[in-house]
Structures are given as C-alpha cells and as structure tokens.
Homo-oligomer: A and B are copies of this chain.
Amino acid sequence: MPPTPRTSRTLTDEDLAAFKTRLCDVAEAMFAAAGADNVSMRQIAAALGVSPMTPYRYFANREAILAEVRIRGFERFAALLEAAYAATSGDAAAKAAAMGREYVDFALANANTYRLMFGEHSQEDSDESPLGRAVARARATLSVYGDGLIRAGMAEAEARAMEGLIWSTLHGAVTLELAGTTPPGSAHETLRLLGRFALRG
C-alpha cells in the first residue's frame, strides 16, 4: 500500500499547535481510561487516525507527551481549585475547606490523571519550566490557608510551612486511597478530620 500524505506543505504554527492539542486531548482520555503505562504510542497514533511515527514529528518522544499532559492536568486542577475558592462565600476557613474538598474530589475522580501528575517525572520542577509554573499555580491556591494563619498572628514562614503540611496530608490521603492501601472513603474521612481541627476559625 502506498503512502498517502495529504499535506499542505510546511504547516503553520497554529496547525502544529492544533495537532499537539488534539493529540493531548486523545492521549489524556486514553490515559484516564487505562492508565498511562497501558497506552502505547501506536495506540495513540491509531486513535488519531495517523501512522505510528507521525506523533514523533510533534513530540520528541513519549516522555514529552507525558510531560505535556501533566502540565495540562495541573492547569485543569489549578483552575478547579481557583473556581472553588471564588465560588465560596465566607471567611478564609470556609474557602480553604471548599478547596480541600475540591482537591480530594478531583484526585479520586481523575485517578489516573492525578497519578500521572504526581508520578516520578525525573526532572525536578524548576520554577522556570512550564511544569514548574503549572505546579506553582496549583500550589498558590493553597496560600489562602496560610494567609488566614498570618492574619491570626502566625509568622509568615511558619504559615507557609503549614501549607506544606496541609498539602502533604491531602496528597497522602488520596494517594493511599488510590493505591488501595486504605479503604474507599478514607480520604474524605481524613479531610473531614483535618478540617475539624486545622481550620478552626
């Protein structure tokens, strides 16, 4: 069978971006359904209706696709947290509680995406990298909590450290549940407990 390229010669920057976006959309859905490890390059290409090697013209390799999807995941995540913050009326504690709920709900409802986001991605998240910036954006939503502590008289450094503790607890709760180490519902239970005595107004 002869090759059947139907190109329009040297593709535009937006054509290029469009393909990348389309590929990421498809890959993201497949990853979410089966876990990133169980989706091959060939499967992604087939789902796009394109030959197995075509994606390599747009991404250096498989890892580059994972990196891109990770970034998109963090951005979606951050947007949800920000929305939860904006949609909640009340004091900082109420907003923080809503964000905590959103955090756990997102992780449990998008297990494979969350696993991909927080899996071992070799290179560290320098604030310069796109991934680092996406992570920073998600992390920044946590500052609502620290801000409340500062208003209550806590030193800034300490308040920021407390944010790290809250984050650790949320992350630990959902990953333990996602791994099957703790039974279903544990994460929400932990969240409830955390809110009870870490968010007393």
List A residues at the B interface (Cβ < 8 Å): 35, 115, 118-125, 135, 161-162, 164-165, 167-173, 175-176, 178-183, 186-187, 189-190, 193-194
- Check if A171 sits within 8 Å of B176, measured CB to CB: yes
- Check if B125 sits within 8 Å of A180, measured CB to CB: yes
- Check if B162 sits within 8 Å of A167, measured CB to CB: no
- Check if A161 sits within 8 Å of B180, measured CB to CB: no
- Check if A120 sits within 8 Å of B124, measured CB to CB: no
Rounded to whole Å, the gap between the CB of A100 and the closest CB of chain B is 12
| B-side contacts of A115, CB under 8 Å | 120
Which of A122, A172, A173 has the largest number of chain B CB atoms within 10 A?
A: A172
Which of A165, A183, A187 has the largest number of chain B CB atoms within 10 A?
A: A165
Identify which of B119, B180, B190 contacts A165 (C-beta below 8 A): B190
| B-side contacts of A165, CB under 8 Å | 169, 173, 190, 193-194
| B-side contacts of A125, CB under 8 Å | 180-181
Knowing A35-B120, A120-B35, A193-B161, the reply to whether A167 touches B172 (Cβ < 8 A) is yes
Which of A35, A124, A162, A190 has the largest number of chain B CB atoms within 10 A?
A: A190
Closest to A120 in B: B179
- Check if B164 sits within 8 Å of A168, measured CB to CB: no
Closest to A173 in B: B168
Q: A135 to B176, alpha carbons, bound, how many Å?
A: 12
Closest to A172 in B: B172
